Every structure is written in structure tokens, then in C-alpha cells.
Amino acid sequence: MTTLIQSLSRRCQTIAARSPWIYRINAGSCNGCDVECATTACIPRYDVERLGCQYCGSPRHADIVLITGPLTARVKEDVLRVFAEIPEPKVTIAVGICPISGGVFRESYAVHAPINQYIPIDVNVPGCPPRPQAIIEGVAQAIAIWRERL
Amino acid sequence: MPGQFDYPLAVLLFPGGLFALVLGLALKGADRRLAARLQRRVGPPLAQPFFDLVKLARKRTMVPDIAAQPVFLGAPLFGAVSMMLAAAMVPIAGIYTPSPVLGNLLVLLYLLAIPAVALMVAGSASGSPFGAIGFSREMALMLAYEGPLVLVVAAVAMRTGIGSGGWVNFSLTDIVAYQRQHGAFLFDPVMWPALLAFLAFYPANLGIVPFDIPEAETEILEGPLLEYSGPALGLFKITSALKAVVVLSLGIALFFPLAPEGAGGLLVQLLKLLLMMLLGVTVLRVSCGRMRIDKAFRFFLKWPLALSVLSLVIVAFAH
Amino acid sequence: MNVLKMLIGNLVKGPSTIRYPFGPAWTPDDLRGRIVFDLYACTGCRACEQVCAGGAIRFDKTPQGLRFMMWHNTCVFCGLCEFYCPTRAIRQSNDWHLAHPAEEAYRMAIREVIPYIECAGCGGKTLASAPNPVGVEPPFTPEEIERHHHLCPVCRKKAMAERGQTS
């Protein structure tokens, strides 16, 4: 009986992992990576909906979080607040090199990089900006991590 | 009466409840797939809405501090239950006649209004300013499209009533029986203004472009649904799927319920629903942009209202 | 009815989606991707460190030699290092498969050391770096490059003078 419940739960986990919803947080980015994220999600050439993903307008609906931009001092509090609004289980992807290390803005006084001092990051996608195919690769890795957390 | 099920079974299993839910989610899956193909994309698998629901069941519902908690959690439940009841009230020609305990067309009209009210109330109960904006937009749109709906329903009821010797007949079973005898209203020139008004009404009710103004849009961050997550959001998705089945089945019952008896009737109903979904919802959705709320409001108070009043007048004087 | 014509045309033409990751993704040959470092060809001039836009390249003097360190997570993939390197020791491949789990962030790096050796000419301590080919006419042959690898700067000058050059 317990094995039946366990296998059913495992099956539900696999089914649920086929519908990850994406939300993008711009933490002070130059918008290069945001444009690439928008390209990945919205244009027919790199359609992410075939993977089951959907861009959602509300952080409450999100499963996969794409963070772009070095965490600038001005926006830091708001980003942390929005990040706290996203319900568990969630996976975070740092898109571009700015959240990982600060990128070209590394030595600036206004930047709180790397972002994983404040927000736990699961997947890094380096590039300035990364290619849409590279972002899809990062999303695929994130889905695999997310499946284990469901 | 042929195919009259006991009404608890009808509400929970067939044709309400589980059957309508599976049918509605399958229709939505087909709609998303065709919309993607029309935009030269690949699109999600057909069972994607089911995956979405399973995923939503595994997340947790977060309730904001400033939200009115019982209303916040009760509103989606209200909407889903009302649509489950409504799905059991629409007859499927040839196989299902709703039990008279459930009520007639007037009760169905009230039940159809409940999901929109639930959405409005959810928006204002969540306490966020985006929810308040969604609330006011949904209210404006509802005021606009409820008028044509009531007049169209009255016109159909009056046509059935006058045709069978009385004045007006609000029983859906009688409307379907009348059309099986005298020909569907789709081919009746007297009813064409009512048909046009109904065609203008259902995109607004189902919340599809060009009228998906209050809910799920990027302008106001999804409006009333902004603060919902997890199973509560899943209930809203269930309500939306059930409403699609109810409204499309209502359209079929009002204007074109002709179908063979038995299992063939069920197949024909499914085919009609699929065609209405793909041609009426998907093609409309991908070829239009979203209307502004004041323009949509003015549109409804112009042509659909005029057409529905005209149809009422014509029907009253047609015989 | 232009919209309907366009929709029917879209259905007929089919999806224009690139099916990566379920199919191949086309990569242009000169895509600026992952950095490749050739230790043998590095002259130790540190020009790449100076022009690096993201500050990703760093040279350190260690007891073993001159250590080259490059971190992909700060590289902006601009191509300046490849442009300014005199020997094309550092260049960009077109590999863009760089997405990695966050635990491996510090493994996305290149760490190589140009070792200290004894000069084959005078026996002093010198770096085993490649010779700088800028302005050398006629260009170095591979045997000359191999010989210069074992010479200190003073002995290299002598070798160039024997060849008829001054640098």
C-alpha cells in the first residue's frame, strides 16, 4: 500500500515537473539579458511553451526565477521582497555574468554582486548576454533540479 | 425522459463535475496547441492544462497579510462549485436531459454570473492595488456583457414559447425539444440578430482576447489573480475550464442542438464543442489585440445591445 | 481578411521553431564563445589582462612561474584578448554550452602556469614563454620558437642579433 502511494507520488512529481512557469526579475540589469530572455520566451523561433514553460506576470505563480543584472543598491530591497513572494519549491537561474560576479560592473560602489550572498542561486548561465539556446539549456538543467524538489 | 440521470450523479460525474472538467481542460489544451501552430510555434503538448493543475496542487497557497482570508480562499471555491452545477444544467441533445430539480435557464443565468463575481471579489479581497484595478475592470465589463446575454436568452425563450402556444418558455429542455421539431435557430433568419449578439458576448465571458481585460494580462500583472498561488490558483483554472464548457454548450443548446440519439449524440456534441473552441476562440484569440476597457464597454453598449433588443422585438412580432 | 490568409499560411508553412534541445542548434563559426588558452604560444606579455573588459584574466607571479587565470563567469566574451594577443595564444571557440549548476561556478576557469626554467644559454632563471613575433621579418620558424622557449631575454637578443635582427 505504501509503495503504491510512493509510486503514485513519484508519478505525480514527474507529471508536475512538466509545467514550470518562468518569472523574470531584473535586478538592475542593462536589459541585454532581459531582451534575450524575452526572445527565448516569446518569439516563435525559440518557443519555450513546447517545454511546458509559460511566462507568468505574477511572482506568486512562478516556479523558475530568472534573475538578470548585478544587484544594484537602489533595487536590492525590492528584489529581495519580490523574491520572498515566490512560493516554494522554486529554482533560481542567474542569467548573464552580472548576477554571478558583477560582470563589467564588478568594481562599482553601487553594485552588490555576487548575488548569491543574498539569494540562493541554483544554475548559472554565463554570457554577456547568453545565447537564447544557452538560456534554454540552463532552463532545462533547472527543470531537472526542480523536479527533485517538488 | 431519455437519459435523465439522478442529479447528484449528474453534478459530480457526467455531464457536470469530472466529465466537464476533463473536457474543458482538453479543449483548452487543443486551443493552446492550435494557437501556437497558427503563430508558427510548436506549442505545448495537448495534455498541458492537466500538467499545470497537478503542478499547482503541489505548491503552497500563500495568503497576503492584508487579505481578507475567508473571502480570499472561498471565492475560487464558489466559482468552481457554481460552474460544476451549471455544467449539469445544460442539456446535451439526444443523451442528457437535466433533472428539473436543478432549475431552468434563469437559474443558469445567475450561475453564469457567479465566476465573474468570484473573480471580482477575489481581486478586491487580495488587498493589492492591481487586484482593485482588476475588480473595477471586471465589474465594468460584466455590466456591459450581461445585458446582451439576458436579452438574447429572453429572445430564444420567447421564440420557443410563442412557437408552442404560450408566451415565454425558460426551460432549456423545451427549447432543445422545440428546435428538434421545428429546425435549429441557427438557420432561422428571425434569430440571426440574437446569434450575432451571442457571438459578441461569449469572448467577453470566457475572458479571451480581445476582451480578456480584467484577468491574466501583463498590463496589470494578472489583476485579481496576482496574489493567488498553489491550489487556490488551480481552482481558478478549473473554474475557467468549466466555464468554457458551460458557455459553449449553452450556445449549442440555444442555437444548434440537433444531434442523433445515443452515443452518436455525444460524439456530435464533442465535435461541435471542439469546432466552436477552435474556430470561435482560438482563431479570434490569435488574430486580435486586446481592447481598452472603455472601448470594450462602449462597444457592448452599442452593437450587441442593439442587436439583442432588435431580436427581441422581431421575435415578439414575428408570428 | 488579410489576417485569415496569414493564419492559413502559417498553418501551411509549419512551425519555424529551432527544436533545441530536442534537435541540433546551428552555431556560426565565428561565434564568440568559450575561451581556449594555448600555454605553449603565450609570451607572457599580459596584454590580454590589460584589455580584458570584464577583468576576467589575471596573471600572478608564483614560485613555480607565471600563472594565467581566467574565469568564465566574469568574461564578457568581447574578443579583445584574442584581438590583442600577438601569438593567438588566447582565442575564442564557438562553444556556447556554458550553463552549469551554481556549485561549479569556480570550476569554469582556466588555470595554467608558465614555468620557470634554467636558460639553455646562460643558466639563469627565466620563464619558458614563447617569443614575441611582432615585427619579426622573416617570421619565426617552429624550430626557432622551440629554441627561444629555453632562452632568457638576454640570450634571445643574442640569437636575434645572430639572425640579423635587433629585437
The pLDDT of residue B280 is above 80: yes
The pLDDT of residue A56 is above 90: no
What are the extents of the domains in chain B? 7-318
- Best mutation site among C34, C98, C104 for testing chain A: the one with the most A CBs within 10 Å? C98
Q: CB of A9 within 8 Å of any CB in chain B?
A: no
Helices (H), chain B: 7-12, 17-38, 48-57, 69-87, 105-125, 129-163, 172-182, 192-206, 231-255, 263-275, 283-287, 293-318
State the count of interchain CB pairs (< 8 A) between A and C.
92
State the count of interchain CB pairs (< 8 A) between B and C.
27
Distance from CA of B102 to the nearest CA of A (A): 35
Q: Which of B260, B257, B206, B172 is nearest to B27 (CA)?
A: B206
Q: Which residue has the higher pLDDT, C155 or B263?
A: C155
C-alpha cell at C17: 521553431
- The pLDDT assigned to B319 comes to 65
What's the rounded mean pLDDT across residues B266-281?
90
Does the domain made of A2-149 have the CATH classification 3.30.70.120? Answer: no
Q: CB of C15 within 8 Å of any CB in chain B?
A: yes
B34, closest residue in chain C (CA to CA): C11
Q: CB of A82 within 8 Å of any CB in chain B?
A: no
Report pLDDT digits (tens) over B222-253.
Answer: 778 888 888 999 999 999 999 999 999 999 98
Whether residue A49 and residue B229 make contact (CB cut-off 8 A), yes or no, is no
Return mean pLDDT, chain A.
90
- Chain A positions touching B39 (Cβ under 8 A) are 44
Whether residue B41 and residue A44 make contact (CB cut-off 8 A), yes or no, is yes
What's the rounded mean pLDDT across residues B247-265?
86
Report pLDDT digits (tens) over A67-121.
Answer: 999 999 999 999 999 999 898 889 999 999 999 998 899 888 999 979 989 999 9
- Distance separating alpha carbons of residues B240 and C17, to the nearest angstrom: 29
- Best mutation site among A8, A12, A18, A91 for testing chain B: the one with the most B CBs within 10 Å? A18
What are the extents of the domains in chain A? 2-149
Domains and CATH numbers, chain C: 28-163 (3.30.70)
Q: Are C23 and C41 in contact (CB under 8 A)?
A: no
As for the ipTM of the complex, it is: 0.88
DSSP codes joined into one string, chain A: -HHHHHHHHHHHHHHHTT--EEEEEESS--SHHHHHHHHHHHSGGG-SGGGT-EE-SSGGG-SEEEEES--BTTTHHHHHHHHHHSPSS-EEEEESHHHHH-GGGTT-TTB---GGGTS---EEE-SSSPPHHHHHHHHHHHHHHHHHH-
Q: Which of C40, C14, C34, C33 is nearest to C112 (CA)?
A: C40
Report pLDDT digits (tens) over B108-142.
Answer: 999 999 999 998 898 888 888 888 888 888 899 99
- The pLDDT assigned to B212 comes to 84
Whether residue B37 and residue C15 make contact (CB cut-off 8 A), yes or no, is yes
Which ranges of chain C have pLDDT less than 70? 165-167
Q: CB of C12 within 8 Å of any CB in chain B?
A: no
- Distance separating alpha carbons of residues B131 and B111, to the nearest angstrom: 23
Phi-psi region of C37 (alpha: psi -120 to 50; beta: other; left: phi over 0): beta
